[in-house]
Structure 1
Amino acid sequence: MSWTLPEPMLTLAADIPDLTPGWAAEPKWDGYRAQLAVHPGGRVLLRSRQGTDMTAAFPEIRAAALAQLPADTGLDGELVVWEHGRLAFDRLQQRLARRGRGAAEGAGQWPAHYVVFDLVHTDGADLTGWPYERRRAALEALFTDHRLEASLTLCPSTTDPAVARGWLEWTAAGLEGLCFKRLDQPYTGGARAWRKYKVRTTTEAIIGAVTGTLGAPRTVLLGRYDAAGRLQYVGRSTTLSARFGRTLGDVLVPSAGVHPWQGWTFSAGWGTQRTLDVVLVEPAVVLEVAVDVARDAAGRFRHPARPHRIRTDMDVLQVPLSGEA
């Protein structure tokens, strides 16, 4: 093996979805960032942004790479799984946990697709020094010349602001937003030089517990009732400011009697075994929050919700049901 994949190029948050001259836009997918390398001799490496080898968990991607790509290719892209007409991030999580026979069964049940948005190595050449516009042309030629299909998919790219804004209508299918890349920009591993805009919406949820103390909570755990009248956990907030925490502390009441979440444990985050130390509160306070469109199969917010304001004018029974927007 004469070359290695560079570190992934990273993104910074953008506040608005505007595409300006000199930049291109791509859809931002709700999946796993992954780099794919095909080396001479049939060696394939599919690795995560953190460097984890995911090749064994996605045998259909390895097979497609061997069958369709030249044996000296390095790509950057996103692993996704479609289910019921939308992206299913939780299925990706389940796929990653499987190996051996389980991986083959997972590929049959929830097949993955590798959405390619960059070409960093081909035919013995390191393309990271090339500007995005030239790399993109080479990537499109790769797909055309080798008729790539099925598990390997070319990510759309545009310099037309109207087209980019049109992609934001795909959020119902799990699209998270847009990624912006400067046309003259090289691929700089580890640098946060791309921009990402995430679609966010304002909604309501019920505070069921807090971390920290009741008088000065650090985060809140949010719930919504399901159709059967059970309070389901739907997500956690970002860290509260001291001022907002004190304001919440004035209206929250400690749980009296049996709480719907009594005995539950809450994870501190995906990929960790650590659980949260929480204080249960009476589920009587409604909080307005800003959330992005990423959800799991149960309708829970995958990313922390940003608190906006306490909805003293709203009853908990007016909050959308679990699984609703």
Structure 2
Amino acid sequence: VKERFSFDDLLMRIHPAASRVKKLSQETPAKLIVFDLLVDDRGKGLVDELLTIRRKKLDGFAKKYFAKNKSIELSPQTDDLTIAKHWLAGAGVDLDGVIAKRTDMPYQSGNRHGMVKVKRLRTADCVVGGFRYASEGRVIGSMLLGLYDEKGLLHHVGFTSSFKTDEKPALTKKLEKLIKPPGFTGNAPGGPSRWATERSAEWQPLAPKLVVEVQYDHFTGGRFRHGTKFLRWRPDKKAEQCTFEQVKR
């Protein structure tokens, strides 16, 4: 979308109405990026071949067929560490990271032997704009994180829930003292969906008094793609200093 990868737009295709899926496929067509070839164009299986051989065959396959279809693209690859580090340095916004694979192994089906997903872990300071209670018991389940935009609106961007069990009662009391609407003045946590239950969608708004530093691996579509890891409190930092600028780098 606008020359950038958008996982959010891809997720919109998960819809029960076929007409909606068809409409979106025309408005924002997806692109298939191919990184391996398991069967050649003659129907011969390649799973027992080493990755070096499969990649050469994939390159030839791509030259023969991909030029005719703009929705299919060959994934870049390199054995140059400098280039790989350059790719990794740019990860975290459009991409999760890079995949490192052994070239001297046949295709590994159903396991991750011979491959490693390398991510660039970064940190961000966020405002605690709300929290959710755990599904069982009246203790915190997760803190809801926010960042300010250039208009001064606080947007919900994700959550963190990496707390020790014995820390939760005291943390819950600390947060309950700060309950005050609206919590988020921009985009707020959504309601129930096919991924969230009614219970998990309930949340308590907080006055923007607390700032935390969290670790994350991917930020896209205005939010952290995965849950973040709580690192520390930042009493030295004002809430207004927690802006989107720090996740655009």
1:211 paired to 2:132: yes
1:209 maps to a residue whose letter is G
1:287 paired to 2:212: yes
Aligned to 1:157: 77
Aligned to 1:118: 36
What's the % identity of the aligned pairs?
26
Q: Secondary structure of the equivalent of 1:119?
A: coil
**Unaligned 5+ residue runs, structure 1?**
1-82
Q: Secondary structure of the equivalent of 1:166?
A: helix
Q: Secondary structure of the equivalent of 2:31?
A: strand
Q: CA distance change for structure 1 residues 147 and 314 in 2, over 3 Å: closer, same or farther?
A: closer
**Contact 1:234-1:322 within 8 A present in 2 as well:** no
**Could you list the per-position Cα deviations for residues 129-170 of structure 1 after superposition, in whole angstroms to 9, with x for gaps in the alignment?**
222111111111111233535111110111110111111243
Q: Secondary structure of the equivalent of 2:48?
A: coil
**Contact 2:124-2:246 within 8 A present in 1 as well:** no
More strand by share: 1
Q: CA distance change for structure 1 residues 105 and 323 in 2, over 3 Å: closer, same or farther?
A: farther
Q: Secondary structure of the equivalent of 1:252?
A: helix
What is the TM-score when the length of structure 2 is the normalising length?
0.81
Q: Report the Cα distance in structure 2 between the residues aligned to 1:256 and 1:238, rounded to whole angstroms.
A: 18
Q: Report the Cα distance in structure 2 between the residues aligned to 1:323 and 1:274, rounded to whole angstroms.
A: 32
2:95 maps to a residue whose letter is L
Aligned partner of 1:181 among 101, 104, 107: 101
1:158 maps to a residue whose letter is T
Aligned to 1:196: 117
2:143 maps to a residue whose letter is V
**Contact 1:177-1:198 within 8 A present in 2 as well:** yes
More helix by share: 2
Q: CA deviation at 1:93?
A: 1.5
**Contact 2:216-2:227 within 8 A present in 1 as well:** yes
Q: CA distance change for structure 1 residues 274 and 253 in 2, over 3 Å: closer, same or farther?
A: closer
Q: CA distance change for structure 1 residues 252 and 224 in 2, over 3 Å: closer, same or farther?
A: same
Q: Secondary structure of the equivalent of 1:95?
A: coil
Q: Report the Cα distance in structure 1 between the residues aligned to 2:118 and 2:197, rounded to whole angstroms.
A: 30
What is the TM-score when the length of structure 1 is the normalising length?
0.64
